[in-house]
């Protein structure tokens, strides 16, 4: 039997060359394997001697130290990948992970604001403050276009096509997409530009649309802070973040009858499955609509 260090070296080569995993994913697999190796060492066993019962104990310990179910599932997936490799390379004859179950992960539906709550939050902004109109324009764009917070803070003035009604957004992996922007959001941006022109803009930030009072791009933390303050001012007790606006944008589109593929394009999701979480929300909405409005469900019918 080859030494453990030799097996692990071959496994890393297998992941990199045959599975073509990214460096980030390779790091994650390595950390998961380290947890298994530490466990095996504590049990005074070689990793090739670990049994199904041992692995049950391993998973129980992950749970006991408070590792979240989703993270547990990822670690187990990494362990299964390792033992699958050991089988392929004939280091083992039996896979001890074959019966190992993943922890149950419920679909966590994202927090969503109603249209009234979105309006209340925007209306709560004090426009007499120096940053008031900026905040209103910023949150209107966040909701109107369903942007990620990083896309909002890096949005450039030159990427707003006022006449055409589009903005050009640079998303994950520097992928660009065109997103329609509402007339309301365009109007709020135009109003904000009067204030923006009075700011002494720092070098390198001349084309950034939403600026801090210091003349630099806003930080993500600042956007979070603005939203928290306004949610409180509007009397909204939900846990509201920039991502809540993105979820609300997608949900309201779906409720309005928009095509899931179109929403995927707007959000900049690589896979339609990422967008499909919104169908869970939409099904609940449809169920509620049917129960409330279907004549067979009305009281006294």
- CA-based end-to-end distance of the chain: 76
Task: Give catalytic status of residue 225 as yes or no.
Answer: no
Our answer to whether residue 278 is catalytic in this structure is yes
| Annotated catalytic residue 172 | yes
Residue owning tokens 């135009």: 190
Q: Is 269 a catalytic residue?
A: yes
| Ramachandran quadrant class, 300 (left: phi over 0; alpha: psi -120 to 50; beta: rest) | left
Token output for 161: 């096509």
Choosing from 11, 29, 83, 278, which is the catalytic residue?
Answer: 278
Name the catalytic one among 172, 213, 214, 288: 172
Q: Which residue among the candidates 134, 136, 148, 247 is catalytic per the annotation?
A: 148
Active-site choice (134, 136, 246, 252): 246
Residue with tokens 């409330």: 292
Could you confirm whether 243 is annotated as catalytic?
Answer: yes
Are the CB atoms for 110 and 280 separated by under 8 Å?
no
The active-site residue, picked from 177, 202, 269, 280, is 269
190 tagged catalytic: no
Provide the annotated active-site residues.
Answer: 148, 172, 243, 246, 269, 278
């Amino acid at each position: 039997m080859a030494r453990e260090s030799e097996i692990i070296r071959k496994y890393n080569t297998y992941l990199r060359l045959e599975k073509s995993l990214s460096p980030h994913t390779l790091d994650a697999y390595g950390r998961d394997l380290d947890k298994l190796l530490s466990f095996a060492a504590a049990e005074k066993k070689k990793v090739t001697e670990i049994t199904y019962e041992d692995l049950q104990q391993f998973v129980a310990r992950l749970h006991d130290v408070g590792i979240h179910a989703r993270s547990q599932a990822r670690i187990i997936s990494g362990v299964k990948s390792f033992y699958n490799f050991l089988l392929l390379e004939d280091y083992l004859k039996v896979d001890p992970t074959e019966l190992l179950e993943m922890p149950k992960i419920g679909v966590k539906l994202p927090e969503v604001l109603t249209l009234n709550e979105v309006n209340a939050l925007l209306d709560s902004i004090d426009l007499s403050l120096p940053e008031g109109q900026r905040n209103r324009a910023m949150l209107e764009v966040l909701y109107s276009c369903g942007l990620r917070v990083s896309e909002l803070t890096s949005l450039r003035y030159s990427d707003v096509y006022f006449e055409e009604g589009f903005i050009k957004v640079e998303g994950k992996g520097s992928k660009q997409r065109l997103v329609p922007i509402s007339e309301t959001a365009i109007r709020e941006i135009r109003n904000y530009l009067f204030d923006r022109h009075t700011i002494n803009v720092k070098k390198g930030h001349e084309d950034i649309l939403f600026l801090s009072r210091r003349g630099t791009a806003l930080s993500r933390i600042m956007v979070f802070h603005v939203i928290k303050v306004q949610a409180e001012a509007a009397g909204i007790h939900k846990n509201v973040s920039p991502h809540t606006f993105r979820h609300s944008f997608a949900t309201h589109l779906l409720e309005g009858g928009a095509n899931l593929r179109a929403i995927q394009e707007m959000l900049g999701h690589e896979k339609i499955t990422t967008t499909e979480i919104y169908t869970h929300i939409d099904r609940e909405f449809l169920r509620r609509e049917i129960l409330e409005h279907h004549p067979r469900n009305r009281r006294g019918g």
